[in-house]
């Protein structure tokens, strides 16, 4: 995939690089995989089972996405502040 930012933009891929660094640190460097398929399945399970729904994110006030969505449903005005 081609870069989406302007030429020379240092922050163009920062979000993707941050996610990949987290996956490497928390999953890949702690595991050994026998096959490529086994590694792909482990990464999928990590992202869909932990990273997206449960891992706390600083941009959400150190709440997990699931907790943040619950908070939005309960009181949408608090999330806007």
Contact 33, 45 (CB under 8 A): no
DSSP reduced 3-state for 67: helix
For 1-40, the pLDDT digits (tens) are 555 566 666 666 777 788 888 889 988 888 899 999 999 9
Cα-Cα-Cα-Cα dihedral sign, residues 27, 28, 29, 35: positive
pLDDT of res. 4: 58
CA distance 68 to 43: 24
Strand extents, DSSP E, the chain = none
Give the pLDDT band (50/70/90) at residue 65.
Answer: confident
Q: Say what the pTM is.
A: 0.56
């Amino acid at each position: 995939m081609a870069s989406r930012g302007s030429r020379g933009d240092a922050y163009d891929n920062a979000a993707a690089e941050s996610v990949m660094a987290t996956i490497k640190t928390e999953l890949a460097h702690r595991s050994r995989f026998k096959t490529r398929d086994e590694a792909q399945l482990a990464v999928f399970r990590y992202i869909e089972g932990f990273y997206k729904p449960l891992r706390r994110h600083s941009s959400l006030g150190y709440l997990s996405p699931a907790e943040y969505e619950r908070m939005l449903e309960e009181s949408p005005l608090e999330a806007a502040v």
